[in-house]
Amino acid sequence: MTESSEPLRDVIARHGLTASKALGQNFILDRQLLARIAAVPGIREGERVYEVGPGPGGLTRALLEAGAKVTAVERDRRCIPALEELSDAFAHRLQLIEGDALRIDEPEMVPGAHVVANLPYNVGTALLLKWLSGDMWPPWWRSLTLMFQKEVAERIVASPGSDAYGRLSVAVQWRCAARIAMTVNRSSFVPPPKVTSAIVHIVPGEQPAGVSPRTLERLTEAAFGQRRKMLRSSLKQLDGALKAAEIVGIDTQRRAETLSVAGWVSLARQLDA
């Protein structure tokens, strides 16, 4: 039996692996589910994929079987031997990097890659914000297909006026299109997490002209940090913000969650004018 056909449960047992709570690990063993996740971004033969936290390599194998060239970053050195076996089985289309994804310079290492990852819950949002931030746009990545707690996934795609709508919604939606591709029951994982998960697919779009990512971040941080307050109260700490709101016709008696993404973009543009 080759590594490419060996059940992942057997791979885990053979290498004596257990999911690390400290690293936020939960393994998916169902090959059909992993193949469905790998299919979400529509990867073509030979396209580059960047994976964070591959663990024993279940999703990695599905991506390789889909024809991708995979660069995988893994902190847990216990998993490296299993991943090296995968690299050997797939003609070295898998490049392994042992390290912390929060410290990787992706534009230099994996430009033009699709990012596909079952992200550890404890660093998922931090990694997403890292990949969304900065002035470089279009970004180095072609798409993001990421596993989150369902609650976080709902915040990413939330519409104005909903309880889930907030800073994360605006950070994603002002220059990307995002959708929930599927939900993943907790029973699909070993060990099962306490929450349901979801796969979010994000594709970069056009960046609105005249808007600084940092200004937008400052505005939403101030407003959603005090989301129970009216904008006239939460934004007064930012010089010029209330005047900018008056100029673009935003009623400052509203609360942050009622203002659309386009409204936040207009306010940020005016604040920088």
Confidence check: pLDDT of 2 > 70: no
Quick one: residue 92, left, alpha or beta (phi over 0 = left, psi -120 to 50 = alpha)?
left
Which pLDDT belongs to residue 22?
67
Which pLDDT belongs to residue 23?
65
**252 and 242 Cβ atoms separated by less than 8 Å:** yes
Which pLDDT belongs to residue 17?
78
**106 and 131 Cβ atoms separated by less than 8 Å:** yes
Confidence check: pLDDT of 261 > 50: yes
Confidence check: pLDDT of 98 > 60: yes
d(CA 95, CA 50): 10
**62 and 37 Cβ atoms separated by less than 8 Å:** yes
Which pLDDT belongs to residue 4?
59
Integer angstrom CA distances of residue 88 from 2, 29, 74, 125, 195? 10, 21, 17, 32, 35
**86 and 94 Cβ atoms separated by less than 8 Å:** yes
Q: Which domains does the chain have, with CATH numbers?
A: 8-204 (3.40.50.150), 213-272 (1.10.8.100)
Confidence check: pLDDT of 1 > 80: no
Mean pLDDT over the full length of the chain? 92
pLDDT tens-digit series, residues 113-172: 999 998 877 789 999 999 999 889 999 999 999 999 999 999 999 999 999 999 999 999
Mean pLDDT computed over 178-199: 92
Which pLDDT belongs to residue 26?
80
Confidence check: pLDDT of 263 > 80: yes
Confidence check: pLDDT of 199 > 60: yes
Q: Which range is least confidently modeled, 54-68, 122-136, 247-261? A: 122-136
Q: How confident is the model at residue 21 (pLDDT cuts 50, 70, 90)?
A: confident
pLDDT tens-digit series, residues 207-238: 999 999 999 999 999 999 998 899 999 999 99
Judging by beta carbons within 10 Å of its beta carbon (0-12, 13-18, 19+), is residue 23 exposed, middle or buried?
A: middle
Confidence check: pLDDT of 3 > 60: no
Confidence check: pLDDT of 9 > 90: no
DSSP state, 133?
Answer: -
Percentage of the residues of the chain whose pLDDT score is greater than 70: 97
User: Which residue carries 């991506």 as its tokens?
Assistant: 63
